[in-house]
Copies of this chain bind each other. A is one copy, B any other.
Amino acid sequence: MSRRTTGPEIERLIQLLAKLPGLGPRSARRAALFLIKNRERLLAPMALAMAEAQEKVTICTACGNVDTVDPCTLCTDARRDRTTICVVEEVGDLWALERAGAWGGLYHVLGGTLSAIEGVRPEDLSIGALIERAGAGEVKEVVLALNATVEGQTTAHYITERLKTLGIAASRLAHGVPVGGELDYLDEGTLTQAIRARRPL
């Protein structure tokens, strides 16, 4: 707002909210008003939750997950299979796999993908730490759950080559038709992969 319409504390809150992914300036104002209207029920608890997160959140030094303990909840869960590691680009991918209940082994968060254009080299990602974990004896398989993008696949290829020298098997996620997906909305590459990897009924 060019002229002052409201207090500087509120304008500051709107500006900060507008930096969140998914919130533009308009929805940030709406969110700020909603917070103010629900002061006791929402604004106060959120101020507290943010202060607590700010104070306690840490990155797991083993796998890169975000948690309030290090090593993280997943790394210390005795029910998980310690002989398999699922490699993901970002923490959000790990959370998505956990929500799906799709994986029962350990994880490793790379922190991105290799990219010649953006100048991301192997040493900029946690690839060295992954190779070290994989080579420590217990691990039998590494699943590369990277995005089906050029960067994701380049990174998967690079890691596969390095794991080969350790004699550890790498695998990738299956390609195919998403569950509930309609064929005529899918790209040709996905359809070709889905035909090639067809399963007998």
Name A residues whose Cβ lies closer than 8 Å to a Cβ of B: 1-10, 12-13, 16-17, 19-23, 27, 29-36, 39, 42-47, 49-54, 56-57, 65-69, 72-74, 90-92, 94-95, 98-99, 101
Contact between B72 and A29 (Cβ–Cβ < 8 Å)?
no
A146 to chain B, nearest CB (A): 18
Q: Which 4 A-B pairs have the closest CB atoms?
A: A7-B68, A47-B50, A22-B27, A5-B98
Contact between B4 and A73 (Cβ–Cβ < 8 Å)?
yes
In the complex formed, the residue of B with least CB distance to A47 is B50
Contact between A57 and B39 (Cβ–Cβ < 8 Å)?
yes
One of B16, B22, B36 near A57 (C-beta < 8 A): B36
User: Assembly of this chain: how many copies?
Assistant: 2
Contact between A53 and B20 (Cβ–Cβ < 8 Å)?
no
Which residues from B are CB-within-8-Å of A73?
Answer: 4-7
In the complex formed, the residue of B with least CB distance to A72 is B6
One of B1, B39, B66 near A10 (C-beta < 8 A): B66
Which residues from B are CB-within-8-Å of A43?
Answer: 50, 53-54
**Complex CA–CA separation, A194 to B36 (angstroms):** 37
Q: List 22 A-B contacts (CB under 8 A).
A: A2-B99, A4-B73, A5-B95, A5-B99, A6-B65, A6-B67, A6-B68, A7-B56, A7-B57, A7-B68, A7-B73, A9-B68, A10-B53, A12-B49, A13-B53, A20-B34, A22-B22, A22-B23, A33-B95, A39-B54, A47-B47, A50-B50
